[in-house]
Amino acid sequence: MRPLLQLPGVRVLAMTCAGLALLSFALALTQWTLVARIVDRTVWGGWAPSALSHAFLGLAAVWLARSMVGGVREVWAARAAARVKREMRARMITQILNLGPLFVSGQRAGELTELVVEGAERLEGFVGRAVPGMVYAAVLPPLLALTVLWLDPLSGLILLLTGPLIVVLLWLVGSMADRATKAQWWTLGRLSAGFVDTLRGLPTLVVFGREQERLAALRTQDDDYRRVTLGVLRTAFLSAFVLEFGSTLSTALVAVTVGVRLFEGGLPFERAFFVLLLVPEFFGPLRALGADHHAGMEARAASEQMALLLEQAVPGQGRLPVPAGPLQIEFREVSLRYGERPALSDVTLTLRPGSRTLLVGESGAGKTSVAWLLLGFVPPTSGEVFVNGVPLSDLEPVAWRARISYVPERPYLFPGTVRDQILLGRPDATDAEVVAAAQSADAHTFISALPCGYDTEVGAEGARLSGGERLRLALARAFLRNTDLLILDEPTSQLDADSEDRIRAALERLSVGRTVLTISHRTALHAGHDQITELSGGQVRRSRQTAGERA
């Protein structure tokens, strides 16, 4: 429960509910005192009609006040729950963004989505229902039991014995359900992840004829989920049964002992009736607790995973401003490991301002890792990257990335229009600037031929465009972004000769006046670069300066 109690606003909500519970207690006492008195005087006489009507008026006022207190509790709890949901979702998303692409690449998209979307919903259920329920159950029954003890010690004793017993039984059933609830949460996460993976890999599954197998695996996961959900429901029914049985039994016990003493003349009618009216008030919050307990357990399973995500150490966030003017970047004996896996070892490399460097090497040589280090997605395991003599890790990361344009091998296009894709480079650009960027990237002609031009929807991940068209949109983004430093990761590896020539021409225009790092398998791209560095097995095998003759 600890991480749940640390949720924003939960303590304030608990204190408010405690205040409202005290108010409810006072109102309940007043309400049932009036009812007992009205019935007593009506049966035995002794009140003038005006006194009776005053009592009825008072009863109506108290009833209204109780309803209002109940309403305030509902509204307050709903607001706090919505706030917690919003805030925790924002915290998780910020944390995922801060942890960066390296963290995300090691996760299953479906599980993360499940945690951010469904996990936050579960917190809403906990804060909106379980917290007020628990506070009411902690405040009202003890006060009511003490009141009954004062009015009629025997009935009070029955309540003081049976109440805690029911709570202990509830706790035992809850502990049994704890593992089932966690299993339910994990299974749901796996099911969502499996579904997202299936959707993403559908073309591969179809090509290899494995879609039926995948469907069967999803069905098995679905069956697992159904099984654990039934297990959770079984324990929920069990706790409801324990509560109903316990409260009915002890209500009956109080009623019998009160009835016997009433007939024997040992207890006045009004007091006996009052005690009987208070007994359901005593069990009411405990009954509600049984239902809300389930929401609390579901939230706990999700909150433990959230805590794991939120406690992950975020790579160093520097605070220094990025130096203005031309940027000289130096890798000094930089090594990088992904866990136990070495990717780079003692890499020393200098990118002079305005120079063009080609980083070549076989697959797995560590080229993309150099780009990720430069983008600040991963910190070096040893050594340091310097920007104008300042360690990159000390620079403010957002301001640093604002100086870089990165064109990856497979640029990602978000659902939206062609214009939206280009505007990602600079959201405040005008239409004329967007068109100019597209023209420079040799994208304007194909965009104009699309059914709705710049307003054409590109589909999920740019599914309605070819690989070369997607790449040209990514270049248009880079033109619009207009930064000092440009990183091109395998920019032409997937293109035919004609597209490659056109993209190379666009790249040439884009590179003018910038510091460029081009990553490639092939040395064929060497024309126009000032420096060619060869990586092999994570080490610099050779680095040579060239004449820098432009292609």
To the nearest whole angstrom, how small is the minimum distance from the Cβ of residue 339 to ligand ATP? 6
Residue 343 contacts ligand ATP per CB under 6 A: yes
To the nearest whole angstrom, how small is the minimum distance from the Cβ of residue 378 to ligand ATP? 8
Residue 357 contacts ligand ATP per CB under 6 A: no
- Residue closer to ligand ATP (CB basis): 105 or 212: 105
Residue 50 contacts ligand ATP per CB under 6 A: no
Residue 367 contacts ligand ATP per CB under 6 A: yes
Span near ligand ATP by CB under 6 A; candidates 176-184, 249-257, 292-300, 357-365 = 357-365
Q: What are the two backbone dihedrals, phi and then psi, of residue 384, each rounded to the nearest 5 degrees?
A: -155, 150
Contact 335, 161 (CB under 8 A): no
Measure the CA–CA gap between 501 and 234, rounded to whole angstroms: 67
Specify the amino acid at residue 505.
A
Q: What are the two backbone dihedrals, phi and then psi, of residue 14, each rounded to the nearest 5 degrees?
A: -65, -40
Residue 415 contacts ligand ATP per CB under 6 A: no
Site for ligand ATP in 292-331 (CB under 6 A): none
Q: Which three-class secondary structure state does DSSP give residue 332?
A: strand
Structure tokens at 217: 């695996």
To the nearest whole angstrom, how small is the minimum distance from the Cβ of residue 118 to ligand ATP? 27
To the nearest whole angstrom, how small is the minimum distance from the Cβ of residue 349 to ligand ATP? 14
- Which positions ≥6 away from 230 have C-beta within 8 Å? none
Residue 365 contacts ligand ATP per CB under 6 A: yes
Task: Give residue 100's region: left, alpha or beta (phi > 0; psi -120 to 50).
Answer: left
Residue 19: CB atoms within 10 A of its CB come to 12
Specify the amino acid at residue 440.
S
Site for ligand ATP in 80-119 (CB under 6 A): 102, 105
Q: How far apart are the first and last CA of the chain?
A: 65
Residue 259 contacts ligand ATP per CB under 6 A: no
To the nearest whole angstrom, how small is the minimum distance from the Cβ of residue 367 to ligand ATP? 4
Considering only 132, 133, 141, 366, the residue that binds ligand ATP (CB under 6 A) is 366
Residue 368 contacts ligand ATP per CB under 6 A: yes
Considering only 319, 341, 389, 498, the residue that binds ligand ATP (CB under 6 A) is 341
Considering only 364, 415, 459, 548, the residue that binds ligand ATP (CB under 6 A) is 364
Specify the amino acid at residue 196.
V
- Which positions ≥6 away from 44 have C-beta within 8 Å? 269
Site for ligand ATP in 508-527 (CB under 6 A): 521
To the nearest whole angstrom, how small is the minimum distance from the Cβ of residue 493 to ligand ATP? 9
Considering only 44, 263, 338, 412, the residue that binds ligand ATP (CB under 6 A) is 338
Span near ligand ATP by CB under 6 A; candidates 89-97, 112-120, 338-346, 433-441 = 338-346
Largest CA distance in the chain: 115
Question: Any bridge partners for residue 330, and if so which?
Answer: 350, 386
Measure the CA–CA gap between 119 and 3, rounded to whole angstroms: 13
Sheet (strand 382-387) strand order? 341-351, 329-338, 382-387, 390-391
User: Where along the sequence are the contacts to ligand ATP (CB under 6 A)?
Assistant: 102, 105, 338, 341, 343, 361, 363-369, 521
